[in-house]
Structure 1
């Protein structure tokens, strides 16, 4: 039996057809309240289904934040399963934002939870942390390859605390973040039109010209909208790699709910702005 089409190829096609926008599904308590929903599993389900109904048939990527579902226990995880299933059925690629990172059999179990096609939470890609050593991610890398999924590895994140690890300089003179990017370049070598192993790189970080971001895979870029970055900033931040950037917008879209038309209009505006910026890059 042949292997499924790789995530990178599917992502490239989705970005070309729908535009390079990722909408986050972040149902935190304050946002549920703004939508007039209860902070419980029922409110969570109404929120998530509304977002999927509004944009899953028109944006390239949806990114549910697992923590906001897990806080409601088994009922919340059941909502997450349905959200993933319905979003993928509508044509969106799903990146599970769970930031898993562990070693050995535990990492293998995390990988099986999200990257095995028979898993209830199977997603097109998973965010992972390499800070137990990049090699600790090998079970996830192997399973992603087998099942046509992808990974987004934390490399240069936008939170201020990340710098103390990611910008630390190794004995070879290379920063930890640059080392992560180099590992990803090796994973993606020879893959066309886009590798399946991407990096998380904040759109708020400014000039990153000292880093080789053109590593053959996608760059998941949080920070557009509420965090202060603009679509027009993308070429300056990402340089030659800008065409492979998947900008994530969460609150900038979600604050227009629960009105479906409002959510769609906001997503369309961001998609147009991003498409124009990437085209100019």
Structure 2
């Protein structure tokens, strides 16, 4: 059985940076590549080549492959396999969330090591109720695949649901975080993490959460192109960031430097350096 809870710690020691692989139509055009599955493949493999040995984790966005149908899915399978070969961890951004056998089907597709679409970790949406994620959490327990559950995301529309108060008086986002921490305590390992945006500011505290005190890994979107800085990361996440529990996602701020491998590597190195200056790893 794999154990993502061990792997993400090692990856964070290589770099807190998680490089997004987002072959959107706009990014492919920026790179001078066709808006096809072949173009997505070229961009993705170039990013993997640049990232190998520099960062610990990459995050392919599934939607940008799915839009090409079966050809795009085949490319995604190749990207996941190539990342594995180069020693990079993968967080597959799928944001799946469903109930019963359907959720179990998603878990089998993306978390079962026998599937060609299996990643080291996946993103999950709990907004059909945290309990609806039970099949995916069971898959994590069974196979050691990690998962990051959306809690307090960086998009402003998320507040409509995430800031809402449950019948028990807690914010929805806070209950999601509590559910993840409870699962990890039950299995005795931080297999599950949460997604909290680096742009959250003081919102987490207002909603009754303490990101600085979490023991689970935190995937933090919003850095770079969305405006969050290293100071924001330290302000929002405190000790969680300084001790290496925050994985900082950057996509456009890396990919916008174009297809030149050296330019990509210099950008990754600089972001990793800036993040690393604030870390206090044992």
Asked whether the two chains share a fold, i.e. TM above 0.5, the reply is yes
**Equivalent position of 1:228 in the other structure:** 227
Equivalent in 87, 90, 97 of residue 93 of structure 2: 97
CA contact (8 A) 1:181 1:212 kept: no
**Equivalent position of 1:150 in the other structure:** 146
Equivalent in 190, 193, 210 of residue 195 of structure 1: 190
Q: 1:241 to 1:190 in 2, by over 3 A?
A: farther
Q: Report the Cα distance in structure 2 between the residues aligned to 1:266 and 1:232, rounded to whole angstroms.
A: 19
Matched, 1:184 2:183: no
Matched, 1:11 2:8: yes
Deviations 1:67-118 (A, max 9, x none): 0000000000100000011011111110000100000000000000010010
* CA positional deviation for 1:232: 2.5
CA contact (8 A) 2:28 2:34 kept: yes
**Equivalent position of 2:201 in the other structure:** 206
CA contact (8 A) 2:104 2:136 kept: yes
Matched, 1:47 2:43: yes
Matched, 1:270 2:267: no
* CA positional deviation for 1:212: 2.6
Structure 1 residue matching 2:128: 3-state secondary structure:
coil
TM superposition score normalised by structure 1: 0.94
Q: How do 1:133-172 and structure 2 match up within 5 A? A: 133-172=129-168
CA contact (8 A) 2:141 2:187 kept: no
Q: Report the Cα distance in structure 1 between the residues aligned to 2:274 and 2:187, rounded to whole angstroms.
A: 28
Deviations 1:108-139 (A, max 9, x none): 00000010010011100010000111111111
Q: Report the Cα distance in structure 1 between the residues aligned to 2:214 and 2:99, rounded to whole angstroms.
A: 25
* CA positional deviation for 1:190: 7.0
Q: Report the Cα distance in structure 1 between the residues aligned to 2:83 and 2:53, rounded to whole angstroms.
A: 8
CA contact (8 A) 2:65 2:76 kept: yes
* CA positional deviation for 1:250: 0.4
Q: Report the Cα distance in structure 1 between the residues aligned to 2:239 and 2:106, rounded to whole angstroms.
A: 33
Higher mean alpha-carbon deviation, 117-126 vs 182-191, is at 182-191
Q: Report the Cα distance in structure 2 between the residues aligned to 1:190 and 1:168, rounded to whole angstroms.
A: 27
Q: Could you say what the CA RMSD is over the residues aligned between the two structures, in angstroms? A: 1.5
Q: Report the Cα distance in structure 2 between the residues aligned to 1:24 and 1:179, rounded to whole angstroms.
A: 28
Structure 2 residue matching 1:217: 3-state secondary structure:
coil
Structure 1 residue matching 2:277: 3-state secondary structure:
helix
Q: 1:266 to 1:191 in 2, by over 3 A?
A: farther
**Equivalent position of 2:215 in the other structure:** 216
CA contact (8 A) 1:235 1:278 kept: no
Structure 1 residue matching 2:119: 3-state secondary structure:
coil
Q: Report the Cα distance in structure 2 between the residues aligned to 1:198 and 1:253, rounded to whole angstroms.
A: 24
Structure 1 residue matching 2:238: 3-state secondary structure:
helix
- Runs of 4+, deviation exceeding 6 Å: none
- In structure 1, the gaps of 5 or more residues are none
**Equivalent position of 2:250 in the other structure:** 249
**Equivalent position of 1:261 in the other structure:** 262
